[in-house]
């Protein structure tokens, strides 16, 4: 009912305060693409077992692309194949289930069905993976976990814009980079944004491009990264320390020959030698 500027919706209120059937929309679990990178002990990788399951950790996919559209196609294809598998399992009571499973398990494509997309499924475990699993359970969402293609965490790549047609390709050694293409990070703010092309690689690159929705990894917080992505509350801290050996004396003392043994041992040696010499001297006199 609409009256003036007020709108009142007269509809069924379902149990739980929902305006629609719980199983239709409001209770549907959102699926996110989560990117990570190997960094023991936060993220480690292991192979699937004989049954294609992860004994520990979460299933993760090793990819060879960071393109948003390609990743979307791959994960859509993955979901379609999983739905087909579920449908076939539901209809197994009307078919020869043993024959179906034998034909299906003999093929390696059961766990690696994305060869044309350059995918491989492994297991990822570690502190960050445990955190991801707990957060997904608390917030009630599903996820697709994959390892970033280049294996990097993310650094900014700044290039000066230029026309490729102006480059001299007639020389003996072809050069596909201008001498001043790469710009130092401290000079980025001094240049006009229209003069430089800023890109990111690694995990940050996937987040900036939209290929991944979030990341669970040992990703350090920096001021440059904070300009393009949002970080959660830091849950680990790292530092660098050095272990140096004490400076040894270079000068050799005059009594260096006494250093191999302790003073007590030298006293015992000289005392025993004195008694031996004295005893042998007395024998010669007699």
Asked if residues 183 and 158 have their Cβ atoms less than 8 Å apart, the reply is yes
Number of other CB atoms surrounding residue 225 within 10 Å: 21
* Cα–Cα distance for residue pair 182/159, rounded to 1 Å: 5
DSSP code string of 169-211: --SSS---S-TT-B--GGGTTTS-GGGEEEEE-HHHHHHHHTS
* Cα–Cα distance for residue pair 275/277, rounded to 1 Å: 6
* Cα–Cα distance for residue pair 210/206, rounded to 1 Å: 6
* Cα–Cα distance for residue pair 70/75, rounded to 1 Å: 9
Q: What is the pLDDT of residues 3-27, one digit of tens each?
A: 556 656 566 655 545 555 444 444 5
DSSP assignment letter at 18:
B
pLDDT above 70: percentage of residues in the chain: 65
Looking at residue 186, its pLDDT comes to 53
Contacts of 272 (CB under 8 A, 6+ apart): none
Q: What is the pLDDT of residues 101-140, one digit of tens each?
A: 444 444 444 444 444 556 788 999 999 999 999 999 988 8
Secondary structure of residue 79 in the 3-state scheme: helix
Q: What is the pLDDT of residues 149-200, one digit of tens each?
A: 889 999 888 877 764 434 333 333 333 333 444 455 555 555 566 677 888 9
Looking at residue 215, its pLDDT comes to 94
Which candidate, 195, 186, 190, places its Cα nearest to that of 223? 186
Asked if residues 38 and 45 have their Cβ atoms less than 8 Å apart, the reply is yes
Number of other CB atoms surrounding residue 137 within 10 Å: 9
* Cα–Cα distance for residue pair 54/125, rounded to 1 Å: 9
DSSP assignment letter at 39:
B
Averaged pLDDT for residues 79-83: 76
Which candidate, 164, 160, 156, places its Cα nearest to that of 196? 160
Looking at residue 73, its pLDDT comes to 82
pLDDT above 90: percentage of residues in the chain: 22
pTM of the model: 0.59
CA 223 to chain centre: 20
Asked if residues 154 and 201 have their Cβ atoms less than 8 Å apart, the reply is yes
Residue 34, judged by CB atoms within 10 A of its CB (0-12, 13-18, 19+), counts as buried
């Amino acid at each position: 009912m609409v009256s003036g500027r007020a709108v009142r919706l007269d509809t069924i209120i379902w149990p739980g305060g929902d305006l629609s059937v719980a199983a239709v929309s409001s209770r549907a679990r959102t699926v996110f693409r989560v990117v990570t990178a190997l960094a023991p002990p936060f993220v480690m990788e292991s192979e699937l077992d004989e049954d294609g399951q992860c004994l520990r950790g979460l299933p993760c996919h090793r990819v060879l692309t960071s393109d948003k559209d390609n990743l979307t196609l791959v994960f859509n294809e993955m979901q379609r194949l999983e739905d087909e598998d579920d449908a076939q399992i539901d209809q197994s009571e009307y078919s020869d289930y043993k024959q179906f499973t034998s034909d299906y398990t003999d093929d390696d494509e059961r766990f690696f069905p994305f060869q044309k997309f350059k995918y491989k499924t492994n297991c990822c475990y570690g502190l960050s993976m445990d955190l991801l699993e707990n957060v997904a359970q608390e917030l009630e969402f599903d996820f697709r976990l994959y390892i970033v293609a280049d294996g990097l965490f993310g650094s900014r790549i700044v290039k000066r814009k230029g026309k490729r047609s102006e480059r001299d390709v007639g020389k003996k050694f072809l050069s596909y980079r201008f001498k001043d293409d790469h710009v130092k990070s401290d000079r980025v703010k001094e240049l006009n944004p229209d003069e430089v092309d800023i890109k990111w690689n690694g995990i940050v690159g996937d987040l900036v491009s939209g290929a991944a929705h979030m990341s669970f990894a040992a990703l350090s917080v920096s001021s440059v990264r904070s300009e393009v992505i949002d970080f959660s509350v830091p849950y680990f801290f790292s530092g660098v320390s050095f272990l140096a050996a004490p400076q040894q004396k270079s000068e050799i003392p005059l009594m260096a020959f006494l250093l191999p043994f302790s003073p007590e041992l030298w006293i015992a040696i000289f005392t025993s030698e004195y008694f031996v010499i004295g005893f042998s001297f007395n024998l010669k006199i007699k």
